Structure 1
């Protein structure tokens, strides 16, 4: 017969003890129970074999009972019949309960007091622990009916034994201990429920904070890019207003279109997180930008001055929308930094490579800073790079940003589609540019 192996430690044990620590009594009981549980897991054979042996020992002591009218061989046979089924008490609790009940019924007409009634208590306990409420109710009903029947058919000597002062005292003490345990269990359950409610509220607040962070990240990307493009276009339009008015007018139209697009994105974003009672059906319901929108993004950047080229490699058409949005925002933020800090005649290369293990996004420019005072290290607090890191973290990736050998700036991100592919670490570690403490926005 195989002995069940020790259960693996559950990661939520420490968490359960921590959330019950507000009540000193409950915490004390919980820590002691946890210590017993850990000891039981470390030595599972002790409980597996110890309980049947203990019940058999109680039965063997009934040889000394002067009220026992049965012979010793029958008594020992019944003790074994009580104890052996307990070895399967956790795997087949209802079967073990049925066997111990049958043995107890057989012992009554033989006039044998085995002293192994504790085996029935153990079997009933495991029914409550492992079986359905309906099966537990059935087991309790059978036990109650059996006790009532026994009281009616007890012989004189058996009745005299059952009503001895020490037996009655022991039963009364057992009942009091059971009620005390039920009260403590009720307190433990209430404390656990209350802490779960607190944890639920904390999770709700955490979800709200995460949603606010997401909205903040989206608004930063939308407004930062659009305003940078608008400023660059406005500077160019002012210079062209007198010499080339037709190009100046075209630039103003691009500024207007960029502003309207940004406003539409903001309305859509705020409609998603707005109050349920507000009318959000007036907000545009277009999908979030993806790889198909990179063309219009690059056109707006080209209108601001830089020359931008896009290279794609691999199958990019079947990427999930969430991954496409992250790629779009990373490219958008990198181009925003180029428009904001680099000279207007900068050349930018955007490269998207979908490999078997990861998706690589590279945005590299060769432009020097616009003026000596506008150094690449200047930033508005680094929020853009933080936002990119948060996006790639959703896909177990990495992002690096730093100066390149051509005097420009390189942003390189690796994103792993879910589920991650094996071998990603070795591939992206080889392709990462050296990190730099300097960074843009």
Structure 2
């Protein structure tokens, strides 16, 4: 038995958080192929099920799924993955999944915080597309299990779309970049107007930014991929997007983290990446979603692996210049945790006073600097393993650290 975590109808796969299977495997969350599309008919995320397995070569195939219901106290499913091949975003405690097809059809699926479909009676709205000949506003109408609009054929790999709904008198709004080509990577919370040059102030000689990206939700983290001249931006409810510098052109969105089961009764909440760090070769980025660490490929946005979760919400991340280690601090934890970048195993806990904050490595990866919430900065020799050298106390949280040659730069909160 187990709980359905996610269903991918196109790939004919189901992810199940299952109980111990005697003689085969322990309790875990695992994705399985299914015998036929009909097997998925009874599979809904959040449903408790009994399922049959058969082994074919090295693969385990689900042959049947029998729903057992969702009794009180069963886990909920924290899931931001697409169920229909589109892009998912949270708006308040609701999920929107928007899907674009080359022939010009757009569909919007509306689900609750646990991804259970919501009734569409009385829901109205529009979708505005940014096309080569200007903006097209199309009405959304209920069709089957989604809201649907029909527009002109969509050229290119992706299309910018502004979805506006009204449900029970409340507005629901989200900006998307939707994949049209199967190889494109879409995103949510993308400014439709792109990066806009600021208007100069008459008579002012102040230097102005080249342009400004205006997100509708707070930016929670940023990191540079120097090798690709891109910047990664994390936004509440919008995940992580990559922007090519210096024009700040949208490149792609990162795939959401894999779904997880959470204990029954756990309060639902919006999703946000709280820290990002890039590998020294620029090929990967580790993204913290609360206590989870998910490694993405920077050139595609795809998830490469998930490292073991930490015991609290991640505050800061740093990737060592030699590529071997990731240093993480956690809120309310008086240590920084040095993890192996390949599998996330803890190599060493670096104890500091009070609560760990900003982190940095020297260019040779030999020394790690760890700031604290209110206290000294500790320098750890990772080769000798001796006690840390303490720098002068600060009266403010050391939020960011960076080595510049032989000098250490700190930024207080």
Q: Give the TM-score taking structure 1 as reference length.
A: 0.18
Whichever of the two has the greater Rg, that structure is: 1
Which protein has greater RCO, CA pairs closer than 8 Å, 6+ apart? 1
Flag the structure with higher helix content.
1
Q: Give the TM-score taking structure 2 as reference length.
A: 0.19
